[in-house]
Amino acid sequence: MKNTPNFSSNALVVLKKRYFKKNAKGEIIEDPVQLLLRVAKCVSAVEERYGASKEAVKEIEEAFFEMMANLEFMPNSPTLMNAGRDLGQLSACFVVPIHDSMDSIFDAIKATALIHKTGGGTGFSFSRLRPKNSIVNSTGGVASGPVSFMKVFDAATQAVKQGGTRRGANMGILRVDHPDILEFIKCKKEEGKISNFNISVAITNDFMEKLSNDEEYNLIDPHNKEVKGKLNAKEVFELLAASSWENGEPGIIFIDKINQDNPVIHLGEIESTNPCGEQPLLAYESCNLGSINLTKMVKEVDGKFEINWDELAKIAGLATRFLDNVIDANKFPLPQIETNTLKTRKIGLGIMGWATMLGFLGIPYESEEALNLIRKVMKFIYENARETSVLLAKERGIFPAWAKSVWDEKGIKIRNATLTTIAPTGSISIIAGPGSTGIEPFYSLVYFRNVLDGEKLLEVEPSFEYLAKKRGFYSQDLLKRIAQGESIQNMQEVPEDVKTVFKTALEIKPVTHVKMQSVTQEFTDNAVSKTINLANTASVKDIKEAFIYAYELGCKGITVYRDGSRMVQVLTVDKKKDNTENNDIPLKQSVVTQPKPRPELIMGTTTKITTGCGNLYITLNHDEQGEFFEVFTQMGKAGGCAASQLEAIGRLISLALRGGVDVKVIIEQLKSIRCPSPNWMNGKKIFSCADAIARVLEKRAMDQKNLAELKVSKHQDALVQVRGSVESNKFETLNNIIGVCPECGSALRHQEGCIICAACGYSKC
């Protein structure tokens, strides 16, 4: 009898939706044990290639299964989804090269579509593309520039949607010395633009030196290497920080630091990372990731928790073998990816549940003790992973590009060019249930989970729940107050020492976030995914200081997120009353947008669409300026359930339109929502009534010549926060909430470069 994994009810919801095997009718045909057994069988079967007996293979299969069933380790999502199935693509991270030719650009788009279809994420450097308006000798025309082509990649990603299991995710990178760098920094200023990309600027050591000396630096045309102008480093840095203050992007990667630590630099320089920035890769490389659940690496001895170092050593070694096997079990989406991946055999073993481990140990996240412990834990994991990789090299051979690598210089014959990575662990954290994700602090201590029939259940951070019960201040009233947004720092019944240990992300100093990332990086030979969380009141100056501090401490990149900055609107501020500069003093105004009043006369169109539930009539009205104003829907008899739901959708769309929300954002939220009764119309599949409404909006939007100007505002003096309806929802914590999940309606949070729903596992990077 196999050990039954102790998945939470929420983990089971996520597994059923995205991971369990389904038949042609979409019916689930496996349970948790069968899922993990499918993965363990597929990955352990590799052992036979290297001469292992059937008995030995069976032992490894059992060990892999138990490691996952005990929730001690989880591989990246594509491995859980695809191992032992026809698709067989098991990697999470890919980098696709883009050279300065139309052939290369569209080859990259094709490669991206194939990768996204299999559940992988892609990173690109657009730095080789000639700048906008450069002369193209072959045609006599002018170049479109990197940002223009990013939009093409973005559209392709939107179309693929990763086969319905994981949404397409991209990283777009441009060097700071590219002539189009200013356009790139501002390319996501308007929310909804290039929405399938995270973007980062590749910062060089030369730029940072020029910044410290307040000097100009050269802009280099990548096509002919000629100097095309100069920019003041300080001014570019100000723009970069201001943009990150506004909406969290761009992030930064320190490209010279990355290549300084590139173990196979003789194969070429690294130009890009995967979507969340934790995996720098060469062109056409992929990487397999997996994380150890640190909450399973503590044990209680005489009423006190301590780290179980023996178990941690065992899991680190076994997980390393697992990830190396994944490389051989993989069915790569492109032959060149297989070739380059096998050259270096990179793996990325990481951790999740770090803050929860600290909670059980009673160590504050902000303390020096925590920094010293993460260094010790990562060193221990790294050394055990390296020991296993060396043993695997003796059994199976060194990675083919070992000669002239850093490992060759050290005289260490090893199986894998890289060993450790700190990934975001958004989805697998829900599955394994460690409490906290990656090395992040707590985002909240208590929150509501949506379950069947609209019921909400409290879910509590496990280490806090344990301590609250042990110390005698646990109560349902306490949990509800926390879930509704009240901080324990203001609760008299919570002891002071507990308050110190259980600070949440926005209650921790930004400098601590950077320190934690930098110390973790010391024994992480790839990179660390970490969000530097800032309060909404943080200034541009705070962000500049975080960027510089990350560079000085040896981080390979940095992403900041100012709470609420993804829900901002341009408003007018009377500058006569404001004698301060934005980069020193944060804007503190908080307003609530009011929908535009409805005029007496309004014009529109009505479209009939046949859905799986019947004929749906959609009326879209616009105001005198031609801007979309309201939506009405009608289907069947009034008063029915479907009719009431459609009326609610129409009202909410109308409210959004009248409140100034870009119609493209509304379309993106509604499009491709699926119901049990899809239908075909005019050769196109209508997935649901919501999808039908989106298609009408999209069609009418395409008919509008000035669609691109719909969201242009005349008021560009200041940015202030506008909180959406989630802000007033007493059933959700307010910490780091940026919107509503399009799949389950729960709160979305910005986390490590992604938008995450903790309730159902939805994510978008």
Alpha carbon 725 to its chain centroid, in Å, reads 23
Write phi, then psi, for 640 (nearest 5 degrees): -70, 165
Which DSSP state fits 640?
S
Candidates 286, 293, 288; CA nearest to 272 is 286
Extract the tokens encoding 261: 């630590």
Distance CA 348, CA 381 (A): 12
Of the candidates 93, 276, 555, 760, the residue annotated as catalytic is 276
Q: Where do the H-state alpha helices sit in 330-449?
A: 335-344, 354-361, 368-396, 406-410, 426-432
Beta bridge partners of 602: none
Distance CA 686, CA 612 (A): 8
Distance CA 214, CA 284 (A): 38
Distance CA 423, CA 418 (A): 14
Of the candidates 10, 274, 288, 340, the residue annotated as catalytic is 274
278 is catalytic: yes
User: Which residues, other chains included, contact 671 with Cβ-Cβ below 8 Å and sequence gap of 6+?
Assistant: 691, 694, 695, 698
Extract the tokens encoding 688: 């649901």
CB-based contacts of 675-682 (< 8 A; 24+ apart in sequence): 675/612, 675/613, 676/612, 677/611, 677/612, 677/613, 678/612, 679/610, 679/611, 679/612, 681/609, 681/610
Dihedral sign for Cα 507, 511, 515, 518, please.
positive
In one letter, which amino acid is 599?
Answer: P
Of the candidates 47, 72, 278, 630, the residue annotated as catalytic is 278
Extract the tokens encoding 648: 């609610």
User: Which residues, other chains included, contact 650 with Cβ-Cβ below 8 Å and sequence gap of 6+?
Assistant: 630, 631, 632, 633, 693
Beta bridge partners of 201: 174, 252
Candidates 128, 74, 118, 73; CA nearest to 97 is 128
CB 749 within 8 A of CB 734: no
Kindly tell me the number of DSSP H helices and DSSP E strands found in the chain. Answer: 24, 29
Number of CB atoms found within 10 A of residue 216's CB: 15
Cis upstream peptide for 250 (omega within 30°): yes
- Could you tell me what percentage of the chain is helix, strand and coil, using 3-state DSSP and rounding each to the nearest 5? 40, 20, 40
Number of CB atoms found within 10 A of residue 740's CB: 18
Residues noted as catalytic: 274, 276, 278
